Structure 1
Amino acid sequence: MTDPADRSSGDTTPEATSVATPEAASPRTRPPRWWLLLGRDRGAAVAAVILGLVFLIALVGRLFIGDRAIRQDLKASLRPPSFDHGFYGLLGTDVLGRSVLARLIEAAGTTLYVAVPAVLCSLLIGSALGMWAGYHGGWRENIAMRTADVILSFPSLLIAVVVLYVFSPSALNIVLILAVARIPVYLRTARAESAELRSRLFVDAARTFGTPSRNIIYRHILPIALPTLLTVATLDFCFVMLTESSLSFLGIGIQPPDVSWGLMVAQGRQYLQTAWWIAVLPGIAIVLTTVSATVLAAWVRLATDPAQRWRLTLPKKRRGARAAVSPEVIA
């Protein structure tokens, strides 16, 4: 018979193994959730809240203001911001007695109606063409890159000014012009990512097993290139919104009775000394939205990069001092 002591010493059951090596049985530490990482960065959290409020106001704000953005009341012309004239008189009125607050809400929807579709169209078309050209290379890549160079040789604002001067200014024309003008930005970015990834081992393995090129691009290249493309899209959103505001300020963008933040600045510039709120408040809205998008884009770039995400787990004061230190050294 076997001695009980010998049996206990040779026991290899899961229970004995778990007791002998508790580290092996401990669950793997999961990375922090994105909202927890966002909460640790106050600047990015504030930027996300501001952008969320802007999009919420643009989506549902028009349901509450009715026609107050275009309703005229000459008796209430150029009233300063005050609590004495009701909620919609909180930010004052313009020269025609229209509520500046209602017009800001209406203009938010118009500005985002132009900026968001333009960015999405250029992102989808440019990314698809860039990854296709970068993966296949050869003449496809040469044609795509030379086309991008031709478009980039003309400033996008200059193209918009010329085209809108020839054709009638409208929101649809602005979206189409800005979308076409910004396609090369995503095409060049996606081409660079795809050209670098096509020589990776996992792409070669998928190609060896006969996987079609479109599936390789969609399943293997797109998930890796997507964080970079989304970061570029967030920054490009700022550029497109500023371009639309510039065109409206020059008088060839959004036309009355529609209203945008840039058009409000243009309409209020002659009243800067007597009624500063007409032009300053939409200018502040433009600055807050663009700065918030820029700050959030920098945070998203770190949060979506597995090699850089560990920086967001450090306290704010220690990130700069340990920016070049690897996670293993910190641990």
Structure 2
Amino acid sequence: MSEGATMTDPAADSADRPSGAAAAPPSTRPPRWWLLLGRDRAAAVAAVILAVVFLVALFGRLFIGDRAVRQDLRASLRPPSLDHGFYGLLGTDVLGRSVLARLVDAAGTTLSVAVPAVLCSLLIGSALGLWAGYHGGLRENVAMRVADVILSFPSLLIAVVVLYVFAPSAMNIVLILAIARVPVYLRTARAESAELRSRLFVDAARTFGTPSRNIIIRHILPIALPTLLTVATLDFCFVMLTESSLSFLGIGIQPPEVSWGLMVAQGRQYLQTAWWIAVLPGVAIVLTTVSATVLAAWVRLATDPAQRWRLTLPRKRRGDRAAVPSEMIA
């Protein structure tokens, strides 16, 4: 060994290394979604509220039985109190029916209209939009003109006219709202597909002879899906408010069925004497729509790799444009 060569002792080297330094390189694996959700208090609270609403809508009717329609005129217009048992917690209406039981029953009715309408419009509009945007040409022009024609009429106006002509029912409301909201997803999916069809990975798949259907499903849809889901979450709020408006006007859900909008309509004449009949279902509508809006904003950040780092920052530094990770700077 030459005289100028030096030998390094691994033990001495590890002793000189700072205690906070890691032996292995830091993992680049993104944090799991529930960890990101836990970092955002507003989104976590919104997720909990929506989960409670959906659980109540799915399983609440198994526990309340017929209490939503059971009448007791001796208990008419009782204020919210614990003195009359659990189902008297939120008071009673003019016929002595439990407002709590009716809220639970109405949650199932409202979501049974909003969720199928959003899912139908999402599936139909996204499929047509991705197909039209990928192929372009005449198919794209025809799809966009049809969407423009439907969007030229306000959704609420179309629903009012159709429900006045046909019998108001939950099925008719779902069909009308689903058709009226298809252009929203069609235009969004068409824009995503038209932008992605010129990408290098799409050209490579096309060069290797991959069928168009497989390219759309395997390569374009996964990238466009986060945007479509965000639009669907926001559209859920619009559809639920539209259903509540139709029920409030008397052309939506009809008695003996009950929805939150119908409860507001039935309790508006008792606002001065029994405010809880109309205010509590209105609060349920507001909480559900606001929670869905907050969660939609969080989902958009969580599913976007270029924006996900914002959710990993400490709460006091979120929104600070200067706090950009070094690896995001070119």
TM-score (norm 1): 0.91
Give identity over the alignment, percent: 91
1:16 matched to which residue of 2? none
Counterpart for residue 234 of structure 1: 233
Aligned CA distance change for structure 1 residues 327 and 219 (closer, same or farther; 3 Å): farther
TM superposition shift of 1:31 = 1.2
Residues 1:271 and 1:3: Cα distance change in structure 2 (over 3 Å): closer
Offset, 1:212: 0.2
Q: Which runs of 4+ in 1 moved over 4 A?
A: 1-10, 24-27
C-alpha contact 2:244 2:261 (8 A) present in aligned 1? yes
- Aligned partners of 2:301 and 2:307 also within 8 Å: yes
**1:8 deviation in Å?**
27
Which string of whole-angstrom CA distances, capped at 9 and with x for unpartnered residues, describes residues 11-51 of structure 1?
xxxxxxxxxxxxx9647332111000000000000000000
Note closer, same or farther for the CA distance 1:323–1:222 as it changes in structure 2 (3 Å cut): farther
Q: Distance in 2 between matches of 1:49 and 1:41?
A: 12
- Answer whether contact 1:111 1:260 (CA < 8 A) is retained: yes
- CA deviations 1:179-224 (Å, max 9, x no partner) are 0000000000000000000000000000000000000000000000
TM-score w.r.t. the length of structure 2 is: 0.91
SS at match of 1:9: coil
The Cα offsets for residues 144-186 of structure 1, whole Å up to 9 and x where unpaired, read as 0000000000000000000000000000000000000000000
How far apart are the structure 2 equivalents of 1:110 and 1:157?
Answer: 19
CA contact (8 A) 1:254 1:260 kept: yes
Distance change in 2, residues 1:96/1:220 (3 Å): same
- Report if aligned partners of 2:67, 2:97 keep a CA contact under 8 Å in 1: yes
Report the Cα offset of residue 60 of structure 1.
Answer: 0.4
Distance in 2, Cα, partners of 1:177 & 1:6: 72
Report if aligned partners of 2:73, 2:96 keep a CA contact under 8 Å in 1.
Answer: yes
SS of residue matched to 1:8: coil
Uncovered stretches (5+) of structure 2, i.e. residues with no partner: 1-6
Q: Quick one: structure 1 residues 80 and 214, their matched pair in 2 at CA, closer, same or farther if it must change by over 3 Å?
A: same
Structure 1, residues 298-320: CA drift from partner, whole Å, max 9, x if none?
00000000111011000122111
CA contact (8 A) 2:317 2:323 kept: no
* Residues 7 and 210 of structure 1: CA distance in aligned 2, closer, same or farther (over 3 Å): same
Distance 1:8 1:71, change over 3 A: closer
- Matched residue SS, 2:18: helix
Q: Secondary structure at the match of 1:61?
A: helix
Secondary structure of residue in 1 paired with 2:258: coil
Aligned-pair distance for 1:261?
0.1
- Structure-2 separation of matches of 1:267 and 1:8: 70
Deviation at 1:329, TM superposition (A): 6.1
Partners of 1:311 and 1:323 within 8 A in 2: no
Counterpart contact for 2:159–2:177, Cα < 8 Å: yes
Q: CA deviation at 1:326?
A: 4.7
* Cα separation, partners in 2 of 1:145 and 1:330, compared to 1, 3 Å: closer
The Cα offsets for residues 211-244 of structure 1, whole Å up to 9 and x where unpaired, read as 0000000000000000000000000000000000
CA contact (8 A) 1:77 1:96 kept: yes
Distance (Å, rounded) in 2 between the aligned partners of 1:299 and 1:3: 50
2:213 and 2:225 map into 1 onto residues whose CA distance is 16
**Structure 2 counterparts to residues 48-59 of structure 1, below 5 A:** 48-59=47-58
Describe the shift of the 1:3–1:73 C-alpha distance in structure 2 as closer, same or farther (beyond 3 A).
Answer: closer
Quick check: 1:169–1:253 contact (8 Å CA) kept in 2? yes
CA deviation map 1:67-109 (0-9, x unaligned): 0000000000000000000000000000000000000000000
Closer, same or farther in 2 for the Cα pair 1:6/1:280, shift >3 Å? closer
For residues 241-269 of structure 1, what are the alpha-carbon distances to aligned partners after superposition, in whole Å with 9 as ceiling and x for unaligned?
Answer: 00000000000000000000000000000
The residue correspondences of 1:293-312 to structure 2 (distance < 5 A) are: 293-312=292-311
CA distance in 1, matches of 2:174, 2:328: 49
Aligned length: 318
* 1:96-128 C-alpha deviation (Å, 9 max, x unpaired): 000000000000000000000000000000000
> What 5-or-longer segments of structure 1 have no aligned partner?
11-23
Distance 2:8 2:260 in 1: 88
